[in-house]
Amino acid sequence: MTQINTIGLDLAKQVFQVHGADAEGAPLFNRRLRRAEVLRFFEKQPTCLVGLEACGGAHYWAREIAALGHDVRLIPPAYVKPFVKRGKTDAADAEAISEAVTRKTMRFVPIKSAEQQAAAMVLRTRALLLRQRTQVINALRAHMSELGIIAAAGPAKVAALAAIVRDPTDARLPAAARFALTALVDQLDTLSEQVERLEREIVTEAKHDEDMRRLTTIPGVGAITAATVKALVPDPDGFRSGRHLAAWLGLTPRSHSSGGKELLGGISKMGNTELRSLLVNGATSVLRHARNNDRALPWLTALLARRPFKVVAIALANKIARIIWALLTKGGTYRKPGVMAVRAANA
């Protein structure tokens, strides 16, 4: 009997597809499995290379199948698509995964532990609540403006609108409007309380985690950013350099070169949107303090003088990403370039 060397597993909710191939890549089987049959199927198979697309539930199945002794690797879906020969079927997808996982130049996604996934859930829950809070604030502002009542920009200024809604003596609000808007104000208070509770938990975790404490020494990196890096970048050693991490986050120019002519566009915006936004927001905060600060880094002041603010913010976010990689892979804490120069001169 021909030895099974590679298995491609196409994940689904209930009906899965598996494609097996030998060492030469010749197909051996392509069959469907019910959800309850998946682990029993892999228990009976000899140790082999198993490929999965990095999608919802992939990390769970990767951990379970790896516990049975198989070599499991997760592939980004965009890297599997070129191997789909024609059409979109489960059988074609499983075959494409089986072929893609054997490529020597293929890039894989590190398998996350349950604890790392749980940390990411905390961050995603906070992000969802923040979006919902913004929606409620926008709705409250819009409804109040219809009655000629406005407040200054910023979430902190919404308290003035909430006070008007809860003031029964304010005649500017009809009874029906006050009844409806009270529900929005109550929901806003609930969302704000939930966000604060999650943020307190994240900050507490950052104080107890060694890597997160070191990351927060970097200007522009707070507890939320450090926690996001720890949850979404489980294997920093998988990047050959800090530049590779910055490129993975989409903070490098998009390349479109041909015929020896190099053409660079805007940033690629690849990778995780939330982490990239946090790094850019942190860089923006650093730049705002550097604008009229005599103690700001000279290279940053010079760059602000000749380039637009947003371009400098992206460049600084790129630099922060490279510093994050250096701290996670080499240890230590962030030291300002001026301090490092003084220490080198005194050595």
pLDDT score recorded for residue 321: 95
Measured CA to CA, the distance from residue 220 to residue 10 in angstroms comes to 40
pLDDT tens-digit series, residues 204-219:
998 899 999 999 999 9
pLDDT score recorded for residue 338: 59
Count CB neighbours of 14 within 10 A: 8
pLDDT score recorded for residue 254: 85
Closest by CA to 10, choosing from 69, 72, 98, is: 98
Closest by CA to 269, choosing from 251, 257, 290, 244, is: 251
Distances (CA, A) of 11 to 33, 53, 91, 215: 10, 8, 11, 36
Q: Under DSSP, is residue 53 helix (H, G, I), strand (E, B) or coil?
A: strand
pLDDT score recorded for residue 10: 96
DSSP letters along 238-292, please? GSSSHHHHHHHTT-SEEE--BTTB--EEEE---S-HHHHHHHHHHHHHHHHHHTT
Cβ–Cβ < 8 Å for 30, 54 = no
What tokens appear for 227 in the block? 């926690």
Angle between helices 175-208 and 114-146 (to 10 degrees): 150
Q: Architecture of 6-100 per CATH?
A: 2-Layer Sandwich (3.30)
Closest by CA to 210, choosing from 86, 331, 31, 318, is: 331
Q: Under DSSP, is residue 164 helix (H, G, I), strand (E, B) or coil?
A: helix
pLDDT score recorded for residue 266: 84
Q: Which residues of the chain, if any, have pLDDT below 50?
A: 339-347
